[in-house]
Amino acid sequence: SIATQTYQNIEIIVVNASGKHHSEINGLCGSLALRLVNSDGPWSRGRAANLGLDEASGIYVLLLDDDDWLYHDHIASLVCALEESDVARVAYSGVRFSCDSHSNEFIILNDSFDPLKLIYGNFIPIHAVLFEKNLSTTGCRFDEALEVYEDWDFWLQLSRVTPFLHVNHITAGYRSTGESGAGPSVEEESIQIAREIIFNKWKHLWTGSETTGLLV
């Protein structure tokens, strides 16, 4: 899905976080530049994401998990939105999601941006988002101690630095395999524990009005 993007000025960086031999992928990337970053892993998702972020040489970064795919105009529409904005350094679009790897039934994840809603929970799939790489110089990094919700924590960091621009189109898909992240397929108990970890990390940074908004 990356190779077929209408926007072709793309560098693909594959982080081999397992530390094991990586299968051949050159034939899947078309004419796009490809770099495989090996490791002495296994590494956490957060550490792998930070390595990919450090290795990226472009202006913008988008992260893609193995259960995600992009429609042809996904990157082009997000790049266009950011280049036309005077203030936003992060843009995201809508995603079709299925929690069953064998189902053809999908739900739409395409909510407008609300900073308070982001505090309450993550509603933006990781591959829906394109952001400026230089945001990492402001201290925004993936928390390598988090087992899940490292993307939610990262969005919270970015939201303190820049507004998020919502592109109201469905330009990507997401079919949960139960092997990555903390999507709807993850057990409720695990989700609750992960949410508590995020809240404990952020509770001292939220304002009184933000905390009150969580209780409404």
The pLDDT tens digits for 169-192 are 999 998 876 554 445 445 678 888
Non-local (6+) Cβ contacts of 184 within 8 A are 97, 99, 176
Measuring CA to CA, how many Å separate 29 from each of 13, 25, 91, 177?
11, 7, 24, 23
Measuring CA to CA, how many Å separate 149 from each of 64, 101, 124?
15, 21, 11
Section 88-109 average pLDDT: 87
33-37 and 164-175: which strand pairing? unpaired
The pLDDT tens digits for 116-172 are 999 999 999 999 999 999 999 899 999 999 989 999 999 999 999 999 999 999 999
Section 35-45 average pLDDT: 85
pLDDT > 80? residue 104: no
107-109 and 90-98: which strand pairing? antiparallel
pLDDT, residue 13, reads 94
Q: CA 93 from chain center: how many Å?
A: 11
More confident residue, 152 or 206: 152
pLDDT > 90? residue 99: no
pLDDT > 50? residue 71: yes
Confidence band for 103, pLDDT divided at 50, 70 and 90: low
pLDDT > 90? residue 41: no
Confidence band for 42, pLDDT divided at 50, 70 and 90: confident
pLDDT, residue 146, reads 93
More confident residue, 200 or 212: 200
For every residue of the chain, DSSP letters joined together read --TT-S----EEEEE-TT-SPPPP-GGGSTTSEEEEE--SS---HHHHHHHHHHH--SSEE----TTEEE-TTHHHHHHHHHHH-SS-SEEEEEEEEESSTT----EEE-PPP-HHHHHH---S-GGGEEEEGGGGGGT----TT-SS-HHHHHHHHHHTTSPEEEEEEEEEEEE--SSSTT-TTS-HHHHHHHHHHHHHHHTTTS-HHHHHHHH-
pLDDT, residue 207, reads 84
Section 45-60 average pLDDT: 94
Section 47-53 average pLDDT: 94
pLDDT, residue 25, reads 80
